[in-house]
Chain A
Amino acid sequence: MSNPNIYIPYLMKIEKITLEAPGVKTFRLKFENDEDAEAFSFKAGQFGEYSIMGVGESTFCIASSPTRKGYIECTFRQAGKVTSALALAEEGDVVGFRGPYGNTFPMDEWKGKNLLFIAGGIALPPMRCVIWNALDTRENYQDITIVYGAKSVDDLVYKDELAEWRTRPDVRLVTTVDPGGETSDWQGEVGFVPMILEKTAPKAENTIAIVCGPPIMIKFTFPVLEKLGFTEENIYTTLENRMKCGFGKCGRCNVGEVYVCKDGPVFSYEQLKMLPAEY
């Protein structure tokens, strides 16, 4: 960031708002200042602080891929004070953005490997950045499989993109909804993500599994992956903890000695196993 005061946000215009699911919106944000747009770059897995002046800041990942230049996207569920204010914003309104912060998914190290994405509910956005990054540089990776589940059909986010991935010959998409969440015309699976994963997962050999979802889903997914033969260093996730600053100073997102904001948010299962249960 060009300003030496790290707390000054970029001013971003909301170019497009997409309603993804009940209470869930995607904003496409463009830099108000062309020089900021020019100087800005980020990598898959990073996050930022999004704000409405007078209300405050909230932390989410950058949900768009670094391969798509000129804008960033974020997807959020209306839940607290700031997200409720963001949800009221309209196209053309200006919001604040600070970032990018945190480490990144090792996209380069994964070259030549199969990628298995496993996401639950509102946790697809951090994964979407990585998915599009991989799809936009498709030649670098082997088979790409996405296993995505939500409570109900209505709660699945990025419905247009799911439709696109479903028809692409170079992606295998498995969607599922929790029992009772299906509609009469639902074509996908019915069942919780870990169970569906066990049924549909590709072979573990030469495959990286990237998992993101609510704590309960993560808890039951890791053992399934281990049973399928995935080793700890080939399983990745991105953690969330309450944050304020985003760069290791405000003192609340640490898990033991590790700061989710600057040492994470991306961790391998191998790293995660070393951390105390403080997330």
Chain B
Amino acid sequence: MQTENYLIRKPSLEKLFNNLISGGKTVIAPKAKGNLALFDKVQAFGEITEDYIVTTNSAKSVVFPRTEKLFSYHKSKEKTEITDASSSAFPDVILWGTRPCDAAAFVPLTDTFNGDYKDIIFNNRIEKVILLSFSCSRSDDSCFCTSVNSGPGNTSGSDVLFTKLSGCEYLAEVMTPKGQLLVSENIDLFETKTSEDKEKSLAVVATRFNQEEIQAKLQNLFENPVWDDKSRACLGCGSCAYVCPVCSCFDIQDEAHGNKGTRLRCWDSCGFSMFTLHTSGHNPRETQGARWRQRILHKFLYVPNKSKIAGCVGCGRCSRSCPADINILETLTSI
């Protein structure tokens, strides 16, 4: 669809928020918690913080929760009954305050869960999610969105992208039919906008590497000392995968309570030593270096080769959250 541009003022943004809440939507937005900004459920406009470059956690849990019920079962002497969790009523969610990198991550996530088969639970969830993103006016040393085909004002994945133009004026770029519907339902809050002065309001994010060049180099880099060198400090804690908005590797686990229980899909990480461990004790990725290599190759070689999209959105969360100060940029710029 063709992008529609509007202008909205801060008091109207608050009204929009209130309309969404009173319309029964669940709003997930950045909320201050100690020194952190975290995506969380909010009830009042005042709960939303604007003081964040990116939140510590990503927004992926809205469509790919940390623990997702796949089905529940009930065993009795006579029979086993299964209740499908995909037919549950998933909530109408407004993701408010996602950054362009957060929104861009929904593209590879959607690709993963729709490749060879359609993951019904993921699709039932994402169908009911609307992304109201906000462009970045600030960045830090960990940001590298411009190196992975994104940017501080990139619209990819967003239904509506707001860019703060002045103290109280926001440009609203309506990108999708979902966004269009939301705006049309609240059209009295929006003003027609013709001039385009978005760029000067955006943060400057330096380009750190060329993605195509990295992809080409990685093609022949499986055996290379860089993997051990750059991962020596790795604790294998999996933080990088947990905060990553794109990482979608998962485990399947059962939780039993007597003769009832559930089968769950849970976040996992290629950084964990047990991720690929065979029951025999054999481990195809025996060292942390081999696991770090998998992480980089998956995002910058395997995904782009297969789907022609990046497996990383350059949000920098992995580098900010790493307890051992491992910086993905250091690896990428050294190869």
Interface residues of A (CB under 8 A from B): 3-9, 11, 51, 53-57, 79-80, 83, 94, 215, 240-242, 244-245, 247-257, 262, 276, 278-279
The answer to whether the Cβ of B268 comes within 8 Å of any Cβ in the partner chain is: yes
Given A11-B80, A250-B250, 5 more pairs with CB closer than 8 A: A6-B119, A9-B82, A54-B73, A241-B278, A244-B252
Which residue of the partner chain, among B250, B253, B277, B297, contacts A56 with CB atoms under 8 Å? B253
Known interface pairs A5-B85, A11-B80; A248-B71 also in contact (CB < 8 Å): no
Known interface pairs A4-B120, A6-B117, A54-B261; A279-B254 also in contact (CB < 8 Å): no
The answer to whether the Cβ of B140 comes within 8 Å of any Cβ in the partner chain is: no
Which of chain B's residues have a CB closer than 8 A to the CB of A240? 278
Which of chain A's residues have a CB closer than 8 A to the CB of B80? 11, 53, 94
Report, as a range, how many residues of chain B touch the other chain.
35 or more
Known interface pairs A54-B261, A278-B285; A257-B84 also in contact (CB < 8 Å): no
Which residue of the partner chain, among B79, B222, B252, B276, contacts A245 with CB atoms under 8 Å? B252
Which of chain A's residues have a CB closer than 8 A to the CB of B71? 5, 7-8
Interface residues of B (CB under 8 A from A): 70-71, 73, 75, 79-80, 82, 84-86, 112-113, 115-121, 222-223, 248-256, 261, 263, 265, 268, 270, 275-280, 282, 284-285, 290, 294, 297-298, 301-302, 305-306
Residue of B nearest to A81 (CB): B279
How many A-B residue pairs lie within 8 Å, measured between CB atoms? Answer: 115
CA–CA, A5 and B123, complex, Å: 11
Which of chain B's residues have a CB closer than 8 A to the CB of A9? 82
Which of chain A's residues have a CB closer than 8 A to the CB of B290? 278
CA–CA, A270 and B147, complex, Å: 37
Residue of A nearest to B121 (CB): A5
Chain B proximity of A251: nearest CB distance (Å): 3
Which of chain B's residues have a CB closer than 8 A to the CB of A276? 222-223
On whether the beta carbons of A4 and B116 are closer than 8 Å, the reply is no
On whether the beta carbons of B113 and A241 are closer than 8 Å, the reply is no
CA–CA, A217 and B298, complex, Å: 30
On whether the beta carbons of B285 and A54 are closer than 8 Å, the reply is no
On whether the beta carbons of A251 and B270 are closer than 8 Å, the reply is yes
Which of chain A's residues have a CB closer than 8 A to the CB of B222? 256, 276
30 contacts between A and B (CB under 8 A): A4-B86, A6-B119, A7-B71, A8-B70, A8-B84, A51-B254, A53-B80, A53-B256, A54-B255, A54-B261, A55-B254, A94-B79, A240-B278, A242-B276, A242-B277, A242-B278, A244-B250, A244-B268, A249-B112, A249-B119, A250-B251, A251-B249, A251-B268, A251-B298, A252-B249, A252-B268, A252-B275, A256-B302, A278-B290, A279-B284
On whether the beta carbons of A56 and B305 are closer than 8 Å, the reply is no
CA–CA, A55 and B263, complex, Å: 9
On whether the beta carbons of A250 and B75 are closer than 8 Å, the reply is no
CA–CA, A262 and B115, complex, Å: 12
On whether the beta carbons of B86 and A5 are closer than 8 Å, the reply is yes
Chain B proximity of A215: nearest CB distance (Å): 7
Which residue of the partner chain, among B112, B256, B268, contacts A54 with CB atoms under 8 Å? B256
On whether the beta carbons of A248 and B115 are closer than 8 Å, the reply is yes
On whether the beta carbons of A250 and B84 are closer than 8 Å, the reply is no
Which of chain B's residues have a CB closer than 8 A to the CB of A83? 279
Known interface pairs A4-B86, A7-B71, A11-B80; A53-B261 also in contact (CB < 8 Å): yes
CA–CA, A219 and B236, complex, Å: 30
CA–CA, A256 and B218, complex, Å: 11
